[in-house]
């Protein structure tokens, strides 16, 4: 059998555990031409969930645009990336797409190029740096024109929206706010990964996109939802896993979808048909995963300061919510003062090693947390 636990890529609907409420909510935003900001830690399944929602929309009624902003580094690349995504959404021949692009984007220079697979595609070049605002307005207004031409509603997804905070100015944010608030029959979905940064975009009154979209946070999946999901997939392969083992597995991954799927994948591989999962087998699966990541984690650990390491050791040890600025934590972490804790927290946040969660802090990489505890706290031999 093919391993039923999927991770690392955009996954199919069958591979989802729960998310029914969020899926329904996202589809309704799309149908109503609304705006929604979906945010979470990395690898929570935002992209897979939104692409699943897009697949629920009738093709005869909707034009869907998926624009990944991760590769962009400024206004020009934002313009050309969005123009390409809009052009590809029209689902037509390359030659017709080129003709449509020339009509839609008079301030850009579209051309045919070969992609990495040797297939022809339409790409864009910004023609004049001093016309960047006109180019921005043109690509942002194009959604309405495309929808009207096809007599369809349009849904635009901006993935990794926090990337625009890296641009040298806030022109993109301002033009986005100015134009999309007047568009009808065009829904916008914004996806963001660095929670402590992207929340500022929509919650900071000084930012152009303040309160421009509804908020749909994605968090870890409750253990009770994982129980049925994991058990059924083991049973389908004539393998047994008890509720206690599922609980152990979820405690190790803290219910995070990527890490839960990944660990379940390895446990499933190690468990023979007609056999039962044991606690020892789960430990073997964890060791397998940590041995694969050992070099990367060692390099990361050695790049950290002593105070950063001290803070992470305590975070990796405690299962309960931790108050980092409490006197007990400062003493245990040997950080001296609350001001020292703040400096360490800020540095680890900037490195994307930790994040805020329900008033406390967590180590983002759940396997790194296990590695720190085993290798750096317990002192087990390195892999």
- pLDDT band at residue 115 under the 50/70/90 scheme: confident
**pLDDT, tens digit (0-9, with 9 covering 90-100), for 326-383:** 888 888 889 989 999 999 999 999 999 999 887 788 999 999 999 999 999 998 776 6
Q: What is the pLDDT of residue 195?
A: 74
Domain 19-217's class?
Answer: alpha beta
Q: Which two tokens stand for residue 329?
A: 């934590």
Q: Indicate if the pLDDT at residue 277 is higher than 90.
A: yes
pLDDT at 234 over 80: yes
In angstroms, the CA 35 to CA 194 distance is 19
Which of the given ranges, 130-144, 161-175, 298-312, has the highest pLDDT on average?
298-312
Inform me whether the pLDDT recorded for 295 exceeds 80.
yes
**What pTM does this model have?**
0.90
**Average pLDDT of the chain?**
91
Q: How far lies 83's CA from each of 68, 92, 108, 112, 311, in Å?
A: 12, 15, 9, 14, 45
Pick from 352, 256, 369, 367: which is nearest to 315 by CA? 369
Structure tokens at 137: 């307005």
Q: Which residues of 47-80 are buried (b: 16+ CB within 10 A; e: fewer)?
A: bbbbbbbbeebeeeebbbbbbebeebebbbebbb
Q: What does the pLDDT average to over 278-300?
A: 97
CATH of range 307-383; options 1.10.10.10, 3.40.50.300, 1.20.1440.230, 1.50.10.20: 1.10.10.10
Residue 237 has pLDDT above 80, yes or no: yes
pLDDT of residue 285: 98
Q: Note the pLDDT of residue 57.
A: 97
pLDDT tens-place string over residues 182-226: 898 999 999 998 777 777 788 888 888 888 889 898 999 999 999
CB 75 within 8 A of CB 57: no
Closest by CA position to 212, among listed 202, 227, 226: 202
**Which two tokens mark 140?**
């942002």
Measured distance CA(150)–CA(62) in Å, rounded: 9
pLDDT at 117: 76
Q: Is the pLDDT of residue 137 over 80?
A: yes
Residue with tokens 């400024």: 74
**Do 189 and 36 contact (CB within 8 A), yes or no?**
yes
pLDDT, residue 278, reads 96
Tokens 């024109």 -> residue: 145
Least confident among 14-18, 130-134, 234-238, 327-331: 130-134
pLDDT value for 198: 76
* Cα(122)–Cα(120) distance, integer angstroms: 7
pLDDT score for 86: 95
Domain range list for the chain: 19-217, 307-383
d(CA 132, CA 39): 29
Between 215 and 57, residue with greater pLDDT? 57
**Pairs from 302-310 (Cβ < 8 Å, separation ≥ 24):** 305/344, 305/347, 307/335, 307/340, 307/343, 307/344, 308/344, 308/347, 308/348, 308/353, 309/376, 310/334, 310/335
Mean pLDDT, rounded, for 70-79: 94
Tokens of 257: 């979808």
What is the pLDDT confidence band of residue 132, given thresholds at 50, 70 and 90? confident
Instruction: Report the alpha-carbon distance of residue 288 to residue 273 in Å, rounded.
Output: 20
Give the confidence band of 228 by pLDDT, cuts at 50, 70, 90.
Answer: very high
């Amino acid at each position: 059998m093919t391993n039923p636990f999927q991770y690392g890529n955009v996954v199919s609907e069958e591979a989802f555990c729960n998310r029914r409420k969020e899926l329904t909510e996202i589809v309704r935003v799309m149908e109503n031409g609304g705006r929604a900001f979906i945010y979470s830690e990395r690898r929570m399944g935002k992209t897979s969930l939104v692409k699943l929602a897009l697949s629920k929309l009738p093709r005869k009624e909707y034009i869907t645009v998926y624009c990944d902003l991760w590769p962009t580094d400024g206004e020009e690349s934002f313009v050309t990336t969005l123009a390409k995504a809009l052009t590809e959404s029209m689902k037509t021949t390359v030659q017709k797409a080129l003709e449509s692009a020339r009509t839609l984007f008079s301030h850009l220079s579209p051309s045919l190029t070969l992609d990495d697979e040797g297939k022809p595609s339409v790409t864009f070049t910004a023609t004049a740096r001093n016309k960047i605002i006109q180019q921005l307005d043109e690509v942002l207004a194009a959604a309405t024109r495309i929808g009207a031409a096809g007599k369809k509603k349009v849904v635009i997804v901006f993935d990794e929206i926090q990337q625009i905070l890296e641009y040298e100015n806030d022109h993109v944010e301002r033009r986005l706010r100015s134009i999309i608030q007047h568009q009808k029959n065009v829904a916008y979905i914004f996806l963001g990964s660095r929670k402590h940064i992207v929340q500022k975009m929509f919650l900071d009154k000084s930012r152009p996109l303040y309160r421009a979209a509804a908020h749909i946070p994605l968090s870890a999946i409750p253990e009770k939802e994982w129980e049925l999901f994991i058990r059924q997939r083991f049973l389908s392969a004539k393998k047994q896993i008890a509720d206690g083992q599922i609980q152990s597995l979820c405690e190790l991954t803290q219910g995070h979808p990527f890490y839960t799927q990944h660990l379940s994948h390895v446990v499933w591989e190690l468990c023979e048909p007609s056999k039962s999962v044991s606690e020892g087998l789960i430990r073997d699966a964890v060791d397998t995963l940590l041995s694969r990541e050992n070099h990367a984690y060692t390099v990361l650990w050695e790049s950290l300061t002593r105070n950063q390491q001290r803070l992470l050791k305590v975070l990796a040890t405690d299962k309960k919510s931790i108050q980092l600025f409490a006197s007990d934590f400062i003493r245990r972490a040997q950080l001296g003062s609350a001001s020292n804790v703040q400096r360490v927290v800020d540095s680890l946040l900037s490195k994307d090693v930790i994040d805020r969660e329900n008033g406390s802090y967590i180590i983002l990489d759940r396997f790194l947390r296990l590695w720190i505890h085993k290798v750096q706290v317990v002192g087990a031999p390195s892999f």
